[in-house]
Structure 1
Amino acid sequence: MTSVRPLRALGAAAAALLLTGLLAACGGDAAGRDPVVPATLSAQSDAASPSADAETLSYAGRTGATALELLLAADPSAEVTGEGENAFVTGIGGRVADDSKKEFWSLSVDGEPAQVGAGTLETEDGQEITWTIETY
């Protein structure tokens, strides 16, 4: 018969590791800023879109951070091709833009379309950064 104790110890170690990571994520950086970016994912009520797939992501701007840096902090699994000023966002929150439907992820700041790419767009405190699936 196999002992349950090694499994309990493994489970306790995994829980301790998870808790340590969560506590570290809640701490601020040396400048006192919170590295965690509160973000809101939402699905549009379009019958053609599965409700589990996010259609919009919004988060607050932060002075000194690009829209791309904040996106990756809010959604580390976001899909991006290229990097820096050549970065092109293709997927957010598990929702990938569908080329066959001529979809793309559109970036806006305070409700206005961004004039530069996410890797170039320097955000400011108080701005609302929004990504939305759109078609061309």
Structure 2
Amino acid sequence: MKIPRTASRPASSRLLALLPATALAAGLLAGCSDGGTPDAGSSASASASVDPTQQVAENLSEFSYAGEDGKTALELLEQHDPDAQVQGKGENAFVTAIRGREADPDTEFWGLYVDDELATVGAGSLETKDGQTITWKLEEIEK
């Protein structure tokens, strides 16, 4: 929006005329910015045009959080997503759903990665460390 300049208007009047436009622009920018994530250290995508919970569940294919000394990947998953679905306990735990997104048992599974490397043990056995990135990726079962 271009505000016409007139020689008869003092500078303070011109500044006051710009104030509503500046406030509008700031409001629009604030509405477009990221207001934060549901859990620090976790990531998921959602769209405002659909129920965010449903959208996350349908489109979630990756979920990450920071490792912590002395805690297992499973303990941290349950901390960051208390509703995660797990079959079995401890070393025998098998994650079947994260953030409401269930893996189709015939075609998919939740793979566990540490710093982008596939884990060699299960989530209940994997002792994490500060500075590590723990990531769950929805993967297809190779047939």
Q: TM-score, normalised by structure 2?
A: 0.61
Q: Which runs of 5+ in 2 are unaligned?
A: 1-38, 47-53
User: Does the aligned pair in 2 maintain the 1:66–1:123 contact within 8 Å?
Assistant: yes
Tell me how far 1:99 sits from its aligned partner. 1.8
Structure-2 separation of matches of 1:94 and 1:70: 17
Query: What count of residue pairs does the alignment treat as equivalent?
Result: 94
User: Does the aligned pair in 2 maintain the 1:37–1:73 contact within 8 Å?
Assistant: no
Tell me how far 1:51 sits from its aligned partner. 4.7
Structure-2 separation of matches of 1:37 and 1:66: 18
Give the number of the structure whose residues are more often strand, by fraction: 1
Tell me how far 1:39 sits from its aligned partner. 1.6
Q: Which runs of 5+ in 1 are unaligned?
A: 1-35, 44-49
Query: Could you tell me which residue of structure 1 aligns to residue 110 of structure 2?
Result: 105
> Aligned in 2, Cα 1:37/1:119: closer, same or farther, shift over 3 Å?
farther
The amino acid of 2:114's aligned partner reads V
Q: Post-superposition, which runs of at least 4 consecutive aligned residues in structure 1 deviate over 6 A?
A: none
The amino acid of 1:135's aligned partner reads E
Task: Please identify the structure whose Cα radius of gyration is greater.
Answer: 2
The amino acid of 1:117's aligned partner reads G
The amino acid of 1:39's aligned partner reads S
